[in-house]
Amino acid sequence: MGFWRALFRGPSQEVEKRAQWDPATDLFPLPGVVSASGQKVDANSALTVSAVFACVRLLSETICTLPVATYSRRGGVRKEIKSPTWLDYPNAEPGGLGRIDLLSQVVLSLLLDGNAYLAVLWDGPNIVGLEVLDPNRIDTHTVVVDGKRRKVFYVADYDDDGNEVALGWYTTREILHIPGMMLPGEFTGVSPIAFARESIGLAMAAQTYGAKFFANGAMPGALIEVPGAMSEEGLARAREAWRLANSGAENAHRVALLTEGAKFSKVALSPDEAQFLQTRQFQVPEISRIFGVPPHLIADATNSTSWGSGLAEQNQAFAMFSLRPWLERIEAGFTRLLFAETANRQLFVKFSLDGIQRGAPAERMNMYSIGLQQGIYSIDEVRGWEDLEPLPDGAGEGHRVPLNLSDVTADEEPAKPAAIEPPPADEPPAQDGDDEEGEPSDEDGAEEPSPTG
């Protein structure tokens, strides 16, 4: 398939490296992955924070399990067509990754590094597979060819001794690059972990502090001070005597007596020590904001949510503000692959959010009813959305509209309204012997004609 093949063998090409800006390396003299809290923050260590792991898991598992299909658009009409094999089965080899696993890795790369890179495996003119690459092994560059700037990729790996092993240069035909949010003038995405290193580092520091606090035995609930020195045996007897006299439900709330100058003092957390609990609690919505995830979806119910009053509204907001930006980036990348393989700009890939955006049963039925009455949906379309079979003999394929809303050109031309006759012209005044209506009077002396006449 020729994927691992160097494309540029000489220095004839002008290469410019455009790595993404890292706030840590530009602002701190320490190594770029160390935060001000002293924590080493990278993609792997960030996942040890439960809020980061929950956000990444929610987004990746939701996106990778969404239905995805290929469509053709002609004349403004979208029609679903058969998807290419590489979209449904990215790796046809036994034990290879399926679509869900591949999409999960793509989303993790975007969320942790800001970029996703996929090796495109070709067999002649056809794409036969996709493989997600480690973003840390790829450097993105631009190369000037015939006066035009193009994006190329330098791929490297490391051997068992930690030495870098160059694998070669590759073009956009052999590596699909899906960037996340980009700074102006850049063509690689920014890493959420790098830009939020201090917030994540603070959460890691609070987590480490709490773990060490309890690992060191935390602190006793109280102290008994005894003047003078006591042997180990004496300390053990005193401790056991105190336990027997004051532990257990039967000894609850009894008065304790101290003799020989012993003093009792209760040990409490200092304000600084108690503050780390609030710090840990605050970092959950802080990290949720980084990934655009509603806090209540990662089990943080400390505050009321402003993402909607009902489950349907919250799902709608999650789909619109959290999922849609990532989905459209992935759709754009796969659509570029379709064009590279077919040279047909009418084809595109699209995820379906219908399952997430579906409301409650009563809301769906009301929407279906309006759509059916207005002729927007057919019965079979509605039944398909509810995972029901079409009606037999094509009975549900037609669209229906109320009679009072039917097209006037459907059957026959409507009757034209009757023309309004103009009023009669003014008549001369009535003669003597005429009545008011101008009709001859029976009293004008004229002889009526004989009926037989």
Confidence band of 227 (pLDDT split at 50, 70, 90) = confident
> What pLDDT does residue 157 have?
85
Is residue 113 helix, strand or coil?
Answer: helix
pLDDT at residue 220 in the model:
64
- The predicted pLDDT at position 105 comes to 95
Which tokens in the block code for residue 432? 């003597």
- What pairs with residue 143 in β-bridges? 15, 150
Q: Tens of pLDDT along 65-97?
A: 999 999 998 887 888 899 998 988 887 676 778
pTM: 0.69
Question: Which pLDDT belongs to residue 344?
Answer: 92
- DSSP class of residue 318 equals I
Q: What letter does residue 412 receive in the DSSP assignment? A: -
Is-contact 428 422, C-beta < 8 A?
Answer: no
Which is more confidently placed, 138 or 304?
A: 138
Q: Which residue has better confidence, 92 or 116?
A: 116
By C-alpha distance, which of 130, 133, 153 is closest to 142?
153
Tens digits of per-residue pLDDT, 374-422? 889 999 988 887 778 889 988 888 888 787 766 655 555 555 555 666 6
DSSP 170: E
Rounded distance between C-alpha atoms, residue 69 and residue 80, angstroms: 7
At 258 the pLDDT is 66
What's the confidence (pLDDT) of residue 5? 40
Which one has a higher pLDDT value, 238 or 66?
Answer: 66
How far is the C-alpha of 288 from the C-alpha of 56, rounded, in Å? Answer: 10
Pick from 4-8, 154-158, 259-263: least confident: 4-8
Residue spans per domain, the chain: 14-202+281-335, 220-268, 360-410
Note the pLDDT of residue 301.
Answer: 74
Q: What is the mean pLDDT of the chain?
A: 78
* Span 348-380, pLDDT tens digits: 999 998 877 666 677 788 888 999 888 899 999
pLDDT digits (tens, 9 = 90+) for 195-218: 888 888 888 888 887 777 776 655
What pLDDT is attached to residue 92? 67
For tokens 């160059």, name the residue: 166
- Beta-bridged to residue 98, according to DSSP, are none
Tell me which range, 189-193, 198-202, 228-232, 383-387, is most confidently predicted by mean pLDDT: 189-193
Residue 337 banded pLDDT, cuts 50, 70, 90? very high
DSSP 392: G
**pLDDT tens digits along 252-311:** 666 666 666 677 776 666 666 666 667 777 888 889 999 999 888 888 777 666 665 666
Strands (E), 27-106: 68-74, 77-81
Q: pLDDT band at residue 177, thresholds of 50, 70 and 90?
A: very high
Which of the two residues, 296 and 119, has the higher pLDDT score? 119
Distance CA 219, CA 269 (A): 9
pLDDT band at 36 (very low <50, low <70, confident <90, very high): confident
Q: What is the pLDDT of residue 218?
A: 55
Backbone angles phi, psi at 38, to 5 degrees: 85, 5
- Asked if residue 71 lies in contact with residue 81, where contact means CB atoms within 8 angstroms, the answer is yes
Better-predicted residue by pLDDT, 390 or 108: 108
